[in-house]
């Protein structure tokens, strides 16, 4: 057997801090490493594998489309792209869609669209208000939008036109708004920032302010969308509708896809303004279509809501037992345990040993974002492993 991790050391850019396992196979909520060890996967490709690994519906769509038509470019009409666009529009409050290849790219599109809107309707306003602790991607503009120093510092100077304010503080958004502002961009729950849940009224207050000022509300639902919070989109739980929404991650069931959605009045791009060679190609859209249709047809968001509650009940028992658990955060199947100390990395390694994949979203917090098709039994198994790992720690 090759030592794959040595190959990584030699040939791959030193960008990613990986766990010391090489995954070779997946099925449902389980993955196996190159030595045959099985893991329960509560990372799900960073909230991507919404239907778990190698779901038959995903595999069928991918293989059938691979035999039919893989790529054409956007110079032509293709069927899966338009079917998926229709399904997204019919199941959201948005009117139009543009497909790209990742979350960051969807947000780049949202930023460009908001700037076009600013030029056309807001006297050239171009500034976008985002929040501290947010994460919007790794391209230069999305790094500039991301409210985290560690992502910005290595790349200064960054593109101009972004202002950051505290999350969950609509007054701060009001104070930062000027005649340069064209949009506010927020996540319904901050994912990479640590699974930070704002007050229930926050998004509504931001919506009211955007309406008052005539500026756009962009919701980055790349992590929260496609069922993850227990509704198809997070905004549904907050009684607001965005002007622009971005989705990615769980939409493709594992294949790379991003979607930029907008209300009619905000869909101001004209031919030539934006584009993508690969974006929306038949292979990816057929797979996205099968994934999204399965999620909608089987009312997976409702199931996620139940599973989230079940998981939280179990977490509460752990919190009562271990005094280093400070907090339970999140909704649906985007959950986190916050600790009194920076112990997340050691816990991740201990869980790995016990056959559970979890993510250290912060030095003092573990994030759980399992496939949306897990069962109560999987949740019990994860809680059991956490109990074992936490018990060892408190001895």
Euclidean distance between CA atoms 372 and 115, whole angstroms: 35
DSSP secondary structure letters along 128-163: EEEEBT----SSHHHHHHSB-HHHHGGGPSPPS-EE
Interface pick for ligand PLP out of 41, 108, 168, 192 (rule CB under 6 A): 192
Number of residues that bind ligand PLP (CB under 6 A): 14
| 137 is a contact residue toward ligand PLP (CB under 6 A) | yes
**Do residues 279 and 109 touch, judged by C-beta distance below 8 A?**
no
Question: Measuring CA to CA, how many Å separate 216 from each of 70, 78, 122, 226, 278?
Answer: 35, 31, 10, 22, 28
Give whichever of 127 and 187 is closer to ligand PLP, judged by the CB atom.
187
Q: Name which position in 39, 42, 98, 135 contacts ligand PLP (CB under 6 A).
A: 135
Active-site hit among 99, 168, 213, 220: 220
Tell me the C-alpha distance between 44 and 351, whole Å.
Answer: 15
Site for ligand PLP in 233-262 (CB under 6 A): 248
Which C-beta is closer to ligand PLP: that of 259 or that of 304? 259
In terms of CB distance, is 99 or 135 closer to ligand PLP? 135
**Is-catalytic flag, 135?**
yes
Phi-psi category of residue 123: left, alpha or beta, with phi > 0 → left and psi -120 to 50 → alpha: left
191 binds ligand PLP (CB under 6 A): yes
Strands 216-220 and 244-247: parallel
**Residue recorded with tokens 């196979």:** 25
- Closer Cβ to ligand PLP, 125 or 145, answer by number: 145
| Residue of 98, 99, 233, 249 marked catalytic | 249
Q: Is 223 in the site for ligand PLP (CB under 6 A)?
A: yes
For 340, residues 6+ apart whose C-beta sits below 8 A from its C-beta are 323, 324, 325, 326, 364
Under rule CB under 6 A, residue 283 binds ligand PLP: no
- Find the shortest distance in angstroms from Cβ 145 to ligand PLP: 9
Helices (H), ranges, 222-368: 282-297, 300-321, 344-354
Write down the residue that tokens 């907090």 correspond to. Answer: 327
Q: Which is nearer to ligand PLP, 104 or 182 (CB)?
A: 104
Stretch that binds ligand PLP, among 96-104, 152-160, 282-290, 353-361 (CB under 6 A): 96-104
- Site stretch for ligand PLP (CB under 6 A), options 111-119, 185-193, 211-219, 365-373: 185-193
CB atoms within 10 A of CB 127: 20
Report d(CA 149, CA 54) in Å as an integer.
37
Backbone angles phi, psi at 96, to 5 degrees: -140, 155
Task: Specify whether 305 is catalytic.
Answer: no
Indicate if 33 belongs to the active site: no
Residue closest to ligand PLP (Cβ): 103
Scanning residues 366 to 395, which ones bind ligand PLP (CB under 6 A)? Answer: none
> Do 35 and 246 form a contact (C-beta atoms < 8 A)?
no
Part of the chain binding ligand PLP (CB under 6 A), chosen from 199-207, 216-224, 263-271, 292-300:
216-224
Our finding on whether 348 is near ligand PLP (CB under 6 A) is: no
228 near ligand PLP, judged by CB under 6 A: no
Catalytic residue among 98, 135, 233, 339: 135
List, by residue number, the catalytic residues.
135, 220, 249
Site residues for ligand PLP per CB under 6 A? 102-104, 107, 135-137, 187, 191-192, 220, 222-223, 248
């Amino acid at each position: 057997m090759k030592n794959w991790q040595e190959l990584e050391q030699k040939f791959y850019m030193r960008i990613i801090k990986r766990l010391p396992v090489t995954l070779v196979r997946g099925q449902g909520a389980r993955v196996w490493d190159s030595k045959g060890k099985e893991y329960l996967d509560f990372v799900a490709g960073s909230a991507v594998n919404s239907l778990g690994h190698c779901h038959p519906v995903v595999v069928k769509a991918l293989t059938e489309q691979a035999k039919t038509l893989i790529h054409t470019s956007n110079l032509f009409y293709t069927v899966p792209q338009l079917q998926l666009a229709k399904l997204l529009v019919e199941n959201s409050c948005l009117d139009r869609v543009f497909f790209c290849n990742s979350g960051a790219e969807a947000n780049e599109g949202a930023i460009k669209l908001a700037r076009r809107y600013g030029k056309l309707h807001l006297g050239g306003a171009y500034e976008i208000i985002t929040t501290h602790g947010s994460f919007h991607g790794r391209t230069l503009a999305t790094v500039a939008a991301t409210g985290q120093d560690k992502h910005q510092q290595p790349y200064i100077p960054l593109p101009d036109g972004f202002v950051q304010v505290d999350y969950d503080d609509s007054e701060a958004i009001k104070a930062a708004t000027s005649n340069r502002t064209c949009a506010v961009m927020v996540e319904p729950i901050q994912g990479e920032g640590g699974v930070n849940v704002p007050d229930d009224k926050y998004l509504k207050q931001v919506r009211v302010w955007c309406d008052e000022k005539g500026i756009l509300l962009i919701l980055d639902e790349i992590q929260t969308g496609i069922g993850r919070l227990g509704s198809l989109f997070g905004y549904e739980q907050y009684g607001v509708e965005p002007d622009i929404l971005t989705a990615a991650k769980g939409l493709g069931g594992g294949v790379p896809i991003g979607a930029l959605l907008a209300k009619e009045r905000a869909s101001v791009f004209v031919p030539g303004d934006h584009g993508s060679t690969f974006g929306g190609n038949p292979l990816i859209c057929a797979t996205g279509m099968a994934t999204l249709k399965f999620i909608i047809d089987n009312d997976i968001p409702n199931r996620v809501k139940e599973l989230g509650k079940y998981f939280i009940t179990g977490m509460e028992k752990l919190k009562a037992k271990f005094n280093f658990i400070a907090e339970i955060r999140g909704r649906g199947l985007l959950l986190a345990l916050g600790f009194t100390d920076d112990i997340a990395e050691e816990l991740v390694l201990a869980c790995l040993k016990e056959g559970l994949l979890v993510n250290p979203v912060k030095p003092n917090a573990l994030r759980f974002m399992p496939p949306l098709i897990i069962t109560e039994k999987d949740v019990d198994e994860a809680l059991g492993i956490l109990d074992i790992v936490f018990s060892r720690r408190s001895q």
